[in-house]
Amino acid sequence: MECERIDVRALENGGVDFNDEPMECCSSSSLKASHPPAKYSDPATIVPPKSLSELITRLHDIFASDDISVEYVQKLMASYKGNPREWKKFAKFDKFRYTRNLVDEGNGKFNLMILCWNEAQGSSIHSHANSHCFLKVLDGSVKEEMFCWPQKTDHTDVTANDDNSNGHDDSSKDQGMQKWAENQLLKDECGYINDDIGLHRVENPSHIDKAVTLHLYSPPFDECECFDERTGKHTTSKVTFWSKYGKRTPFMCRLSVLIVTAAVLIVPSLSIDLGTQWKEFKATYNKNYKNLEEELYRHAIWKAALDHIALHNAAYQRGEVTYYLGENEFADMRNEEFVKIMTKYQMPNETEGSGSLTSADIGGSPLPDSVDWRKYGYVTPVRKQGPCAAGYAFATVGAIEGLMYRRFKKGRSLSPQNIIDCSGNHGCLGGSVTQSYKYVISNRGIDTDEGYPYEAEYLRSCRFDRSQVGGYIKGFETIKRYDEFGLQEAVAKMGPVAVAIDASHIDFQLYKGGVYSNALCNKVVVNHAALVTGYGNCPTGAYWMVKNR
């Protein structure tokens, strides 16, 4: 199947550029660039609206016409400089999902709304019901991923006419969604999409900061298609408003009461939903149990984990804790099992290393208020550790990767398997960062991850290959225990630093997002190595940014 080539590019001024050097996107039918119709007026003469109410008034004037310019609306949206004092009354957050908050109904011609995204919240991959979608970031930032229409859907899909860009070929096989572009939209930047361009998914990429976006949809719609990225299959979903004109929608409030008062009546359907959720959990994390007895045992642990997650997240919603939990691959493991398998760090003597640093030893210029080495290429992508207690190896290579980037300005993933097999630690039964550093020094290097790939097991034979060396160090130093200011200085002035933490609690096992702060953490006995990649401040206080497998 041939792919028609189109280009959609978010401009600094918020426009969309269809040019002569397009990016490639595949669709099951012909995609045509959605060129703007005749202009409502000259975009070059746009005077920025002074307020949100003025923006709304001007949008009403524009959409009163039958001849509307997409380009003009884009530029008008881009010219608006959002004032939080105006839009905050419409910005309603939900701790468990992003929200759609209606600002103006646009006389039936458009909907103007504010979408609120808590940390790490995002949408599904979705269509726009043949509507134009204009987006502007008011606060924070969002990531937009662009997808092609799937090449095949199930028979419940509507087969489009030849000139409909949403068409599907029912003769092909189900296949995953094809992502063809990704944009990071910062504050005051804009984007645009319609169904001719494709599908998209929007999310707040930050685990610290919230995001707020202003959206205009024309014409309005109350349902759209949501797509499974793995199969390309879709379901039709109703879209509702969390609030209208700054007030919680009555439908949602009544629904909450209904769930409470009719709890006895809906128990059977809840059981069915739980069974489906259990099947999805097993499929997602490739869980296979040796017999029915073990599956029932794991199911009970998993159900208890879901109950714990629900109770904790209710406390998070009330603002009583600063982090939230979620289902993951460890949800069917007892906490004792998790600790035994995943936390085997061996605490070294504090004075090991070339020296023991304090904050006074580092000295120098004042520290920045925040540091995030991910932004500068010092931090490689997170890798899955699997059933191997090798956090010490990942923390070791993470720190060396940062030093290599600092020196050569080139990112390269190094081999934790090299450390596991060759460093004199205990393989997948644990080890220490200092012992690993000593190995790299005496060995005069460590292989790349490509040259010595990770296998999540201790093979008992060292296969180090000097031709595959990707990094080295000549020495290392330790920071005095409990000296957090010394750690802050080291991170700010040297790069990512390997640390040891207490990871033995159920909340760490099921952690999903937010600032993890557990009063039960042991300050003396630590059992897991990780990598501090930055620090900063948020409304709940100071935090460390930690990379963990």
* 126 labelled binding-site residue: yes
* Ranges of each domain in the chain: 5-254, 268-328, 341-547
Per-residue tokens: 252: 């949602």
Q: Which amino acid is at 434?
A: T
> Tokens 């999310």 correspond to what residue?
203
Class of domain 341-547: alpha beta
Give residue 364's pLDDT. Answer: 59
Give residue 94's pLDDT. Answer: 83
What's the chain's average pLDDT?
Answer: 80
In DSSP terms, 513 is beta-bridged to: 324
> What digits encode the pLDDT tens for the residues 264-292?
332 333 344 788 899 999 999 999 999 99
Is residue 324's pLDDT more than 50? yes
Q: For residue 194, give every residue at least 6 positions away whose Cβ sits within 8 Å of its Cβ, in sequence order, or none.
A: 34, 128, 130, 131, 132, 133
Mean pLDDT of 29-44: 34
Give residue 35's pLDDT. Answer: 36
**Alpha carbon distance 440, 442 (integer Å):** 6
Helix (H, G, I), strand (E, B) or coil at 541: strand
Mean pLDDT of 307-323: 89
- What's the pTM value of the predicted model, to 2 decimals? 0.51
Single out the residue of 142, 137, 243 nearest to residue 188, CA to CA.
137
Give residue 349's pLDDT. Answer: 54
Single out the residue of 529, 273, 257, 195 nearest to residue 390, CA to CA.
529
What is the DSSP-derived secondary structure letter of residue 519? T
Lowest mean pLDDT among 22-36, 73-87, 235-249, 311-325: 22-36
Is residue 466's pLDDT more than 90? yes
Give residue 344's pLDDT. Answer: 64
Share of residues in the chain with pLDDT > 90 (%): 52
> What digits encode the pLDDT tens for the residues 384-396?
888 888 899 999 9
Distance of CA 7 to the CA centre of its chain: 25
Q: Where are the beta strands (DSSP E) in 178-253?
A: 179-185, 190-193, 199-203, 211-218, 223-227, 234-238, 243-244, 247-248
Is residue 195's pLDDT more than 60? yes
> What digits encode the pLDDT tens for the residues 113-157?
999 998 888 888 999 999 999 999 999 999 999 999 997 433 333
Confidence category of residue 342, pLDDT binned at 50, 70, 90? confident
**Alpha carbon distance 545, 250 (integer Å):** 40
- Phi then psi dihedrals of residue 509, to 5 deg: -60, -35
* 308 labelled binding-site residue: no
- Phi then psi dihedrals of residue 468, to 5 deg: -105, 10
CATH number for domain 268-328, candidates 3.40.50.300, 1.10.287.2250, 3.40.50.720, 1.10.3720.10: 1.10.287.2250
* 128 labelled binding-site residue: yes
> What digits encode the pLDDT tens for the residues 397-456?
999 999 999 999 888 999 999 999 999 999 988 899 999 999 999 999 999 999 999 998
Say which residue, 420 or 319, is predicted with more confidence: 420
Rg (CA), the chain: 27
Looking from the CA of 114 toward its CB, the CA atoms found within 13 Å total: 23
Per-residue tokens: 55: 């923006």
- Phi then psi dihedrals of residue 428, to 5 deg: -85, 5
Distances (CA, A) of 333 to 301, 440, 459: 7, 34, 25
Is residue 64's pLDDT more than 50? yes
CATH number for domain 5-254, candidates 3.20.20.150, 2.60.120.10, 1.10.15.40, 2.30.130.10: 2.60.120.10
Say which residue, 332 or 14, is predicted with more confidence: 332
Distances (CA, A) of 99 to 140, 243, 282, 496: 15, 8, 29, 35
Confidence category of residue 198, pLDDT binned at 50, 70, 90? very high
> What digits encode the pLDDT tens for the residues 350-386?
445 444 554 445 555 688 989 999 999 999 998 888 8
> What digits encode the pLDDT tens for the residues 216-258?
999 999 899 988 887 788 888 788 898 999 998 754 333 333 2
Confidence category of residue 12, pLDDT binned at 50, 70, 90? very low
